Amino acid sequence: MDSVISDARTPLGASADNGLKIVVVGGFGVGKTTLVRSVSEIRPLNTEETMTRAGEAVDDISEVSGKTATTVAFDFGRITLDARNVLYLFGAPGQERFWFLWDRLFSGTLGAVVLVDTRRIDDSWYAIDRLEHHGTPFIVACNDFGGPAFAPEDVREALDLDPHVPLIDCDARSRASSKQVLITLVQHIKDQYAGKDQYPGQADQAALPRQEFA
Amino acid sequence: MSRPGRDDAPDRLYTVTGGRSRSGPDSPFDLVTLVVAESDPRPGMQSEHVAILRMTERPTAVVEVAAELRLPVSITKILLSDLLAAGRVSARHPYTAAVPRPDLLEQVLVGLRNL
């Protein structure tokens, strides 16, 4: 079933009562918005959040001393899953100031997709480190830019990725491929919370993502 | 596309919230809280409140309201808190839990496979 993307507002059904979040994180130009657009029932929208530092709890990731405000812009799309559940898909930059706002914006997120350009693999290290720090379940998806294919084991090694984190290839322009990325993530989340794919030392952290609000 | 809020003079943001800059730590609104209008706009209401009541005739997430108003999320939450306190909108908060229920994850998978 293909949904029609319209420029006009496409209202939700009156019975919708549960919003869910999945975040797509990646460097500039890696295809986050393209992936969101491929599966969204609305044209991706853009908004931003600003956090003033004064009076806010200071997180240990804050390294931008001297700044009084942090602003992060992000895109989002929407997928109506059924009569009650609506999934919001957020495309967000991976830079440092974004992580300062993670708890405020994405507390309670189901999980994250780290979208990787294998030509610029270094861009992804920081995002992976932060997601592990936050205890957020995630998968890594390598967007196909038509260059030489890298062997999965090489990408995994370059990212220093834990063996239990799924690593897949995708084409963010393709609806079917982007849909498969989301299914892979949710299946991984399900497996992880069911106690599979865990190993000593990570189980406690993996099972309890941080839920506090900034 | 211009970014909401960024291109506005700061005094617009000041004016729409009566000078308040954030909704406080006890704001009940999540990015994906679904907001539903409980009344029609009234003459004399602040234009942002009118716009919110019109766009939430059907459930609409906080983040969608912010994008439509072209205002930062934090400012939007202040406006929504005012309307909630006045009983003009209701809020359907996400079922947050430290660990998502397996049946909810299964519903998400079914929904995604049906795309």
Cβ separation B4–A46 shorter than 8 A: yes
- Backbone phi, psi, residue A69, to 5°: -140, 145
Cβ separation B108–A20 shorter than 8 A: yes
**Does A3 reside within a domain?**
no
More confident residue, A184 or A124: A184
For chain B, what are the domain ranges?
A: 10-113
- What's the mean pLDDT in A92-108? 82
pLDDT for residue A196 is more than 70: no
Listed ranges A54-63, A94-103, A104-113; the one with the highest mean pLDDT: A104-113
What is the count of structural domains for chain A?
Answer: 1
CA nearest to B64 within chain A: A45
CATH code of the domain covering residue A146: 3.40.50.300
HEC string for A138-185? EEEEEECCCCCCCCHHHHHHHHCCCCCCCEEEECCCCHHHHHHHHHHH
Q: Which CATH class is domain B10-113?
A: mainly alpha
Which residues lie below 8 Å from residue B4, measured CB to CB, with a gap of 6+? A46, A47, A48, B66, B67, B69, B70, B71, B72
**Does A127 reside within a domain?**
yes
Q: d(Cα A182, Cα A170) in Å, to the nearest integer?
A: 11
pLDDT for residue B24 is more than 80: no
CA nearest to B73 within chain A: A49
Q: Is the ipTM of this complex over 0.90?
A: no
pLDDT at res. A2: 46
| Assessment of whether the complete model's pTM goes beyond 0.90 | no
Strand pairing report for A167-170 and A138-143: parallel
Residues spanned by the domain of A77: 18-49+69-207
- pLDDT-derived band of residue B45, with 50, 70 and 90 as boundaries? very high
Q: A-B interface: how many C-beta pairs under 8 angstroms?
A: 150
